[in-house]
């Protein structure tokens, strides 16, 4: 009499489970890295949108808005002119070791050539290099984006 073997051995099942576990681990790591890069790209896009709203405000009033106007959830507006309906909040969590304690966009108006509200700094943090902007603390000003310490 011939025995027909049906099913899988325990070793075959363990090998298949190990392969599935390895593949799922690799995909989760790749997904987390993609999500972190996505959050950084969002931060850069937010800062550029805020800069655009600030420049439109400056174009109309020849000065930048007060510090209290540009806070997350607020609107950049004056009278009936709305330049940004809702100032965005940075996506969470903060990525990268250089971003600990720096999770919000920080806007401050500046005195330039003796004229109040004639410049500004907008501080933000990136977990990794994004779009040609290096990781860590960065500052956006009317002249562009620079890493903290490069502004004079």
Q: What is the pLDDT of residue 152?
A: 41
What total number of domains does the chain contain? 1
Do the domain assignments include residue 22?
Answer: yes
* Six-digit token string for 109: 């108006």
Do the domain assignments include residue 142?
Answer: yes
Do the domain assignments include residue 5?
Answer: no
Q: Are 67 and 105 in contact (CB under 8 A)?
A: no
Query: Measured at the alpha carbon of residue 121, what is the angle toward residues 41 and 58, in degrees to the nearest 5?
Result: 100
- Measured distance CA(123)–CA(135) in Å, rounded: 13
Mapped onto helix, strand or coil, the DSSP state of residue 64 is: coil
Do the domain assignments include residue 3?
Answer: no
For the chain, the 3-state helix, strand and coil shares in percent, each to the nearest 5, are: 35, 25, 40
Q: Are 133 and 98 in contact (CB under 8 A)?
A: no
Q: What is the pLDDT of residue 6?
A: 79
Do the domain assignments include residue 2?
Answer: no
Do the domain assignments include residue 64?
Answer: yes
- Measured distance CA(46)–CA(90) in Å, rounded: 8
- Measured distance CA(36)–CA(42) in Å, rounded: 10
pLDDT tens, the chain, 152 aa long? 567 777 888 999 999 999 999 999 999 988 988 888 898 889 999 999 999 999 999 999 998 988 777 778 888 888 888 998 888 888 887 776 667 666 678 888 887 777 777 889 998 888 888 878 888 888 999 988 876 644 44
Do the domain assignments include residue 4?
Answer: no
Q: What is the pLDDT of residue 52?
A: 93
DSSP-derived letter for residue 2 is P
Residue 144: phi, psi to the nearest 5? 135, -155
Domain containing residue 84: 10-147
Do the domain assignments include residue 68?
Answer: yes
């Amino acid at each position: 009499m011939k025995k027909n073997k049906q099913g899988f051995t325990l070793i075959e099942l363990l090998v298949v489970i190990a392969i599935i576990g390895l593949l799922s681990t690799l995909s989760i790591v790749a997904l987390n890295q993609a999500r972190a890069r996505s959050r950084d790209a969002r931060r850069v896009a937010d800062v550029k949108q805020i800069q655009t709203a600030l420049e439109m405000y400056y174009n109309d009033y020849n000065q930048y808005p007060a510090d209290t106007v540009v806070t997350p959830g607020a609107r950049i507006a004056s009278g009936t002119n709305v330049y940004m309906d809702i100032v965005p909040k940075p996506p969470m969590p903060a990525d990268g070791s250089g971003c600990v304690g720096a999770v919000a966009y920080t806007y401050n108006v500046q005195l330039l050539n003796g004229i109040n509200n004639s410049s500004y700094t907008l501080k933000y943090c990136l977990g990794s290099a994004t779009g040609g902007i290096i990781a860590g603390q960065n500052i956006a000003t009317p002249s562009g984006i620079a890493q903290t310490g490069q502004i004079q």
